A and B are shown apart, each in its own frame.
Chain A
Amino acid sequence: MTTVRPRIAPSTTVAVVLGAGVPIVFFAVFFLWPVGAMVVRGFGDGIALDVLTRPRTVRLIGLTLGQAALAAIITTVLGVPIAHVLYRLRFRGRRFLRALIIVPFVLPTVVVGVAFRTLLREGGLLGFLHLDGTFAAIMLALVFFNIAVVVRTVGGAWENLDPRQEEAARVLGASPARVMLTVTLPRLAPAIIAASSVVFLFCSTAFGVVLVLGGTRFGTIETEIYLLTTQFLDLRAASVLSVMQLVVVVALLLLAARARGRRTPQRRVDAANAVHAPRLGDAPAIAVTLLVAVFLALPIISLVLRSLQTADGWGLGNYIALGGTGSRNALVVPVWVALGNSLQVAVQATLIAVVIGLAASLVISRRPRSLGLRRALAGFDGALMLPLGVSAVTVGFGFLITLNQPPFDLRSSPVLVPIAQALVALPLVVRTILPVLTGIDGRLRESAAVLGSPPWRVLRDVDLAIVARPVLAASGFAFAVALGEFGATSFLSRPDRPTLPVVIFRLIGLPGGDNFGMALAASVVLAAVTVGIIALVERLRVGTMGAF
């Protein structure tokens, strides 16, 4: 009797090592190491307790968690009815609305902050509510941002839910409300929990919006880290807060991963059965959807209107001013140059994020026979989600304290900004591509292999062919996110090469003259570019985009 013979060719091993190695090394050097260095710095001596017990810290922690929890609850309560309307009702334009709902999510945080200020300040469309600078304003902006996460995640799950279980409950005598409570919602629970925990995560690390809207009274741990670092130069205290944030985020991600569970590849059901024409019972959900639609449109309308107002009345003056450097020489370069910088950096970030994200997704989507390897892959999958929750500020700050010495003396290198932006976009790329890859039946690959395809060809003809559209969508998604990235970029961009969000923030910080008007015009330009990209990407109809 012969013994075991390995069938795996050496070239395959090399491919696997490269495929797994490149993402792991990238992730280790540019994420784990900087963030790890923050941990060490934070707990180097006994100041951790001191920082954590400061009344200001305690208040901010409470504020951060409370604010994130409240925002997550409101977003979920509003998002689930909208998911029902957009994914379970048949009406004209629902595809268009599904596409539109993702726009707020990809709008740059700084733009959203500015838009809400134009909406809420004295003289704005909602100025009579006197919400400018209040907690409610921050809350509105957070909900605005994250509603897409709930709608797309829950909607995606809802669309694939087999309607026959609901029909069975109806036949057994359950009223529609009872079916919703006892059958539909429990089956959607994993998606709802996953979505709301991701929203909680995003809100608890919200930076740009809170910085722009919160003023001095409201903040999060994240804005505090920023202030401690840039205003008070208290790096140790900043590290302590970063670490604490990291701990909370990891705990939350573990919970979210558990709730998400090992979701088996989505079973296709006949979607035509699941979707029905609007009925009287859908009225409340439709009402919620219409209200939220108005709410989502208002800040954008307000922003565009206000950007067209100049000191001499309506006109394009603010846009024309973008060719200059602002009043009191607020800027080093004209805004158009900053837009050029942004586009260039975002292209680089997109390339990095997509290459790394695709390689990581291909590796994670494998199901090795060894249990240990399977666990390692699950761990890697979880780790790649970390940048979602770890503050971009922490990443930017970590770069500054680790990548300033050999072998990675990159402190003044222009590659740092795209790398940091790529890290922020990486989890979104993986979440878009990975579900499609894991949904591929392993026997499809086996069919190709048996028909004579060597491993590289199976990869090309099956995996890459099927994932091509999602990769394209993920590229656009990553590009939009990189374009609007503010947290890490604000730390890392060099003064002579600012990106557009950095310039906008700078213009708001130095009001007077044309500066605020320019900030508005620049925000409209940035938003228009972002929406344009997302509109292109949405034409690919990749359902996993923006779902968690």
Chain B
Amino acid sequence: MIALSAESVTVSFDGTRAVDDVTIDVTAGEVLSILGPSGSGKSTLLRAIAGLERLDAGRVSWHGDDITALPVHRRGFALMFQDGQLFPHRTVAQNIAYPLRIAGIADQHARVGGLLDLVGLAGFGDRRVTELSGGEQQRVALARSLAAKPRLLLLDEPLSALDRELRERLAGDLRRILVETGTTAVFVTHDQDEAFAVSDRVAVMIAGRVVQSGTPADVWRRPATAQIARFLGYTTVLDPHAARRVDPGAPGAVALRAAAVVVTDGGPVTATVVRSTPAVDGARVRLVVPGIGELDGVAGAGIPLAAGDVVTVRFDAAGIARLGATAEMEVPV
């Protein structure tokens, strides 16, 4: 059942279209990630759904009811920002209780305690929010967002201000909490790992438009265009002619990650090393392959390589993606 529906949403700033005719649907209980580079308009789209930006065109509806004109505070959504935006003059417990008080919910104390448990901060209730670390602040912000059981949780890069290790741990926690609470959510991020860790479905947004959507695996395996492939971390895109030398069954262009090109003894293809850079598990290499061109690749630790060396390589299908439409995909106009 479709819960949130944004149809042909356009938002402009001073004549520039930040969000350009975007249509997305979110089914009840689903977590949708909006994945895009910075400046792609993904945060603006989220704010438009929250009711914080005025639409220049299009409509937002909830279970079929048009809510485009509904003021922010009546939508029953919650929005979590990159830096939490906790109320500095309230304690942790008071921050979490804030939406409960607005909604006039009874037994706030127990609810706050339960939410603190949920986000792993039991006993933090009386702390001042200014004393918390970045990760703790985001946990409090999540608890506050979930407190009044929002119909829809909007998350605007909630993890990107944190360091790498904490980010990975919190991404896992976030997924668990969203699933446990059955929350319908839209999650905006520029980090594909985060998107794939947290969401059921991904919409890729570039330059104000949604250019592809599908399950994380779908999008990962079948990026629709070279641009999307590059954004997802594929380093090289080969035209259909060169593509068939790497992936004989390919119907069109393919994209390669560095891991797809492996320097190995007795590989089927000969290549010349342009340069080699040490990496933790061996080396990253730049190669020239006759008939294909320059490719990024990887080499194992045991093989010392220098520019000009001639080596053989094999292609690993796990790092190769065929570009083009899948069944569920929306082709950009």
Cβ–Cβ contact B148 & A452, under 8 A: yes
Report if A383 contacts B (CB, 8 A): no
Cβ–Cβ contact A441 & B57, under 8 A: no
Q: In chain B, residues 1-57, which have Cβ atoms closer than 8 Å to a Cβ of chain A?
A: 8, 13, 47, 50-52, 54-57
State which of B57, B102, B145 has its C-beta within 8 Å of the C-beta of A457.
B102
Residue among B50, B51, B85, B88 facing the most chain A CB atoms (10 A cut-off): B85
In the bound complex, how far is the Cα of B102 from the Cα of A451, in angstroms? 8
Contact with A along B53-79 (1 / 0, CB 8 A): 011111100000000111111111111
Cβ–Cβ contact A450 & B55, under 8 A: no
Cβ–Cβ contact B88 & A450, under 8 A: no
B71 contact set on A, CB distance < 8 A: 7, 9, 449, 454-455
State which of B13, B54, B98 has its C-beta within 8 Å of the C-beta of A451.
B98
In the bound complex, how far is the Cα of B72 from the Cα of A451, in angstroms? 9
State which of B56, B77, B88, B98 has its C-beta within 8 Å of the C-beta of A448.
B98
Cβ–Cβ contact B85 & A443, under 8 A: yes
Residue among B47, B50, B73, B102 facing the most chain A CB atoms (10 A cut-off): B73
Q: Which residue of A lies closest to B13 (CB)?
A: A369
Report if A466 contacts B (CB, 8 A): yes
A2 contact set on B, CB distance < 8 A: 57-59, 68
Cβ–Cβ contact A4 & B52, under 8 A: no
Cβ–Cβ contact B98 & A5, under 8 A: no
Contact with B along A1-24 (1 / 0, CB 8 A): 111111101000000000000000
Cβ–Cβ contact A441 & B85, under 8 A: yes
Interface residue ranges, A against B (CB under 8 Å): 1-7, 9, 369, 441, 443-444, 446-455, 457-458, 461-462, 465-466
Cβ–Cβ contact A466 & B103, under 8 A: no
Q: Which residue of A lies closest to B81 (CB)?
A: A443
Cβ–Cβ contact A451 & B78, under 8 A: yes
Q: What distance in Å separates the Cβ of A543 from its nearest Cβ neighbour in chain B?
A: 15
18 A–B contacts from the bound complex (CB under 8 Å): A1-B8, A1-B58, A4-B54, A5-B69, A9-B71, A446-B72, A446-B85, A449-B52, A450-B51, A450-B77, A451-B99, A451-B102, A452-B103, A452-B148, A455-B71, A461-B87, A462-B87, A466-B88
Cβ–Cβ contact A1 & B57, under 8 A: yes
Q: Which residue of B lies closest to A458 (CB)?
A: B73
State which of A446, A457, A461, A462 has its C-beta within 8 Å of the C-beta of B52.
A446
Name the prevailing secondary structure of the B interface residues: mixed
Report if B164 contacts A (CB, 8 A): no
* Size band of the interface chain B makes with A: 35 or more
Cβ–Cβ contact B87 & A444, under 8 A: yes
In the bound complex, how far is the Cα of B154 from the Cα of A452, in angstroms? 14
- For the complex of A and B, the 5 pairs showing the least CB-CB separation, nearest first, are A450-B79, A451-B99, A449-B72, A452-B102, A447-B85
B74 contact set on A, CB distance < 8 A: 452
Cβ–Cβ contact A4 & B57, under 8 A: yes
Other A-B pairs beyond A9-B71, A450-B50, 15, CB < 8 Å: A2-B58, A2-B59, A4-B55, A4-B57, A5-B68, A6-B54, A7-B70, A441-B85, A443-B81, A446-B52, A446-B79, A449-B71, A450-B73, A450-B79, A451-B99
In the bound complex, how far is the Cα of B68 from the Cα of A465, in angstroms? 30
B47 contact set on A, CB distance < 8 A: 446
